[in-house]
């Protein structure tokens, strides 16, 4: 099955509306309410779609509603069977503090074509398509990966830029990168967006690496697949409960390295709408009586686009009973 343009437009609308629903809560220091607003709106609009959908990558468990939970059924049940991966608000702290980089994210494939990742950590590596597949590997020393990338791109080591989450667990890797004289882009949150920075030379990121969320790895892979980039991930299980959950989900080889072909198959759609402006897309703005959103859209079988949507202020007034648009915080540039 290949997704058609009218269906892709509906998916773009869903992340756009979720981003706008989150907009009134920017900078209010309430990340739970911001997340809930985006989640509730995404659930409502997914349920209006003519699909037989199921969440395979979600935000929480069944007893933690209103989060979109793994196994939740969505849609009218009348259309095609669809696997859904969601992160209605990636970067909850960014939204709560009105900082750059908050996104509303949704990925869709036909049933059985999106890997059902356990809620555990994943060691990840992503590089651009101009680096040969066998030049990098999770099992290579970091020094070998960096030197191979430099050789493939005809760059000196000090011209290579690595993106990694700034976490205590990455201290050793960061120290090794510093010794190599590699440039660093240290991000505080948002490892889906971080991985996508390898997709275009304009971002000047040569490698994304480090340990982050497993579900976020699946979301990133669903987009990277359309760019023909390389992605590898290996789940890290810290407790016996993690291992039992993984085996229940059908994961027998706990040390397996997953490539793109293992994570996403067939046709796929990935949408990431900016809530606050970041490297990938601009955030929601209020201009001339309308909300304007910007969405990165990848469709494996057609195109990769940045799509702008305009939504009248009346839509948000109905949703939130906001009488004065000036009371809504303006998005960062």
- The beta strand positions in 30-177, using DSSP E, are 52-57, 73-74, 81-90, 103-110, 121-127, 161-165
Please state the separation of Cα 101 from the chain's center in Å. 11
Per-residue pLDDT band for 304 (boundaries 50, 70, 90) equals confident
The answer to whether 220 touches 126, Cβ cutoff 8 Å, is yes
As a whole number of angstroms, the distance between CA 311 and CA 289 comes to 9
| β-pair type (207-213, 73-74) | unpaired
Pairing of strands 285-287, 183-187: unpaired
- Check whether the bond before 66 is cis (ω within 30° of 0): yes
Structural contact between residues 158 and 178, judged by C-beta atoms closer than 8 angstroms: no
| Distance, first Cα to last Cα, the chain | 39
In tens, the pLDDT along 243-300 reads 988 888 888 899 999 999 999 999 999 999 999 999 999 999 988 888 999 999 998 7
Closest by CA to 89, choosing from 7, 166, 31, 131, is: 31
How are beta strands 290-299 and 268-274 bridged, if at all?
A: antiparallel
Q: Which residue has the higher pLDDT, 283 or 326?
A: 283
Q: What domains sit in the chain, N to C, each tagged with a CATH number? A: 5-112+268-327 (3.30.540.10), 121-263 (3.40.190.90)
Among 160, 156, 29, 43, which residue's Cα sits nearest to residue 92?
29
39-57 tens-digit pLDDT? 999 999 999 999 999 999 9
Tell me what pLDDT residue 318 has: 47
Q: What one-character-per-residue DSSP string does 202-229 give?
A: GG---EEEEEEEHHHHHHHHHHHGGGT-
């Amino acid at each position: 099955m290949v997704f058609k343009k009218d269906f892709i437009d509906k998916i773009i609308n869903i992340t756009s509306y979720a981003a706008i629903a989150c907009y009134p809560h920017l900078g209010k220091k309430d990340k739970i309410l911001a997340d809930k607003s985006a989640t509730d709106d995404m659930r409502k609009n997914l349920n209006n779609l003519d699909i037989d959908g199921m969440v395979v990558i979600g935000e929480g468990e069944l007893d933690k509603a209103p989060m979109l939970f793994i196994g939740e059924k969505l849609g009218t049940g009348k259309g095609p069977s669809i696997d859904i991966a969601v992160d209605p608000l990636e970067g909850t702290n960014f939204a709560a503090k009105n900082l750059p980089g908050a996104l509303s994210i949704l990925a869709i494939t036909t049933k059985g074509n999106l890997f059902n990742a356990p809620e555990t950590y994943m060691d990840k590596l992503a590089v651009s398509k101009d680096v040969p597949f066998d030049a990098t590997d999770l099992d290579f020393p970091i020094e070998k990966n960096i030197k191979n990338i430099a050789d493939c791109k005809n760059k000196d080591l000090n011209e290579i830029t690595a993106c990694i989450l700034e976490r205590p667990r990455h201290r050793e890797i960061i120290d090794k990168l510093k010794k190599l004289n590699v440039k660093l882009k240290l991000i505080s949150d948002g490892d889906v967006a971080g991985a996508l920075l390898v997709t275009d030379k304009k971002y000047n990121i040569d490698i994304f690496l480090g340990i982050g969320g497993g579900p976020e790895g699946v979301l990133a892979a669903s987009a990277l697949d359309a760019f023909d980039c390389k992605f590898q991930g290996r789940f890290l299980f810290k407790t016996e409960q993690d291992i039992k959950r993984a085996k229940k989900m059908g994961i027998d080889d706990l040390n397996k390295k997953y490539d793109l072909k293992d994570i996403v198959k067939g046709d796929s759609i990935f949408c990431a709408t900016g809530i606050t402006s970041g490297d990938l897309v601009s955030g929601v703005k209020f201009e001339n009586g309308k909300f304007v959103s910007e969405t990165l859209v990848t469709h494996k079988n057609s195109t990769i686009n940045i799509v702008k949507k305009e939504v009248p202020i009346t839509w948000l007034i109905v949703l939130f009973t906001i009488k004065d648009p000036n009371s809504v915080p303006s998005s960062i540039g």
